[in-house]
Amino acid sequence: MTDTPIRFDDGAAYERMMGIWSAKAGEIFLDWLALQKNLSWADIGCGNGAFTEQIVRHNAPSRVEGIDPSEGQIAYAKTRAATGMAHFRIGDAMALPYDKDSFDAAVMALVIFFVPEPARGVAEMARVVRPGGTVAAYAWDMNGGGFPLEVILKELRATGLSPIWPPSADASRREEMMRLWTDAGFENVETRRIDVTRTYLDVDDFWNAAPGSASLKAALAKMDPAQIAELKARVRVHLHEEADGRVTVSAFANAVKGRVRT
């Protein structure tokens, strides 16, 4: 693994690769949170607004603030039809530009493993959510092999190449989520696993979307065309192609939620 930073600079490419995955897992996550309508939400690491849009559709919030360090992602988020009522800005999970007790809920969807100091990010969410409010997160189980493009990462490793790894991948483990939330002092802490599948038109459809993953884009950029072709051939072996060419890929994430002490 290398310590090259993973950069999200292309909201449209992210949408092709992760938007659909994010929507599928995000829906299960929001159902599990079971929060009522008309609440104020902070969407930390909102990216290109894929999950923000789901909050709007699923929970009819009174207010949503999305924050992300990536200008490219924020620019895309602002173009989404359903996010018209949301407000987006550039910022960092570890230093939220909001006052204490500003929100009813704060969430990190597919973000906690990118935050250099997860405990600081969790403490910031606890600070900006009112007593009795909800702080929650979900993330692909990176160490457990839950990332949607795990089959590519695995083959990269097998060929001796190092995928770029999120700096805080450990925070995507269910036990670590429980520890972070318990240490932060939340009440009623619960965790769960989220399983999702996605069907691609064919192997090319799966493969061509992959560079939308910032970590894979960085890894592929360091390879020559022959290496990339070999990697694709190795990946193809693991994908079960239906008679019409379609391939279905599985992924799983872990989620955590807790209530700010009253």
Ligand X SMILES: C[S@@+](CC[C@H](N)C(=O)[O-])C[C@H]1O[C@@H](n2cnc3c(N)ncnc32)[C@H](O)[C@@H]1O
Interface with ligand X by CB under 6 A: which residues?
Answer: 8, 18, 22, 26, 44-47, 50-51, 68-70, 73, 92-94, 109-111, 114-115
CB of 114 to ligand X, least distance (A): 4
CB of 217 to ligand X, least distance (A): 12
CB nearer to ligand X: give 11 or 133.
11
CB of 60 to ligand X, least distance (A): 19
Pairing of strands 40-44, 63-68: parallel
CB nearer to ligand X: give 87 or 261.
87
CB of 141 to ligand X, least distance (A): 14
CB nearer to ligand X: give 71 or 187.
71
Indicate if the alpha-carbon torsion angle 188, 189, 195, 200 is positive or negative.
positive
CB of 92 to ligand X, least distance (A): 5
CB of 164 to ligand X, least distance (A): 13
CB nearer to ligand X: give 76 or 207.
76
Nearest residue to 207 (alpha-carbon basis) of 229, 177, 223:
229
Measured over all CA atoms, what is the biggest interatomic distance in the chain, rounded to whole angstroms? 59
**Which three-class secondary structure state does DSSP give residue 208?**
helix
Which residue's CB comes closest to ligand X? 47
Give the CA count within 13 Å in the CB-facing half-sphere of 149. 25
Is residue 132 a contact partner of residue 69, using CB atoms and an 8 Å limit?
Answer: no
Across 88-107, b (16+ Cβ under 10 Å) vs e yields beebbbbebebeeebbbbbb
190 Cβ contact list (under 8 Å, min separation 6): 256, 257, 258
CB nearer to ligand X: give 27 or 230.
27
CB of 70 to ligand X, least distance (A): 4
Is residue 66 a contact partner of residue 53, using CB atoms and an 8 Å limit?
Answer: no
CB nearer to ligand X: give 3 or 244.
3
Nearest residue to 253 (alpha-carbon basis) of 29, 10, 13:
29
CB nearer to ligand X: give 177 or 204.
177
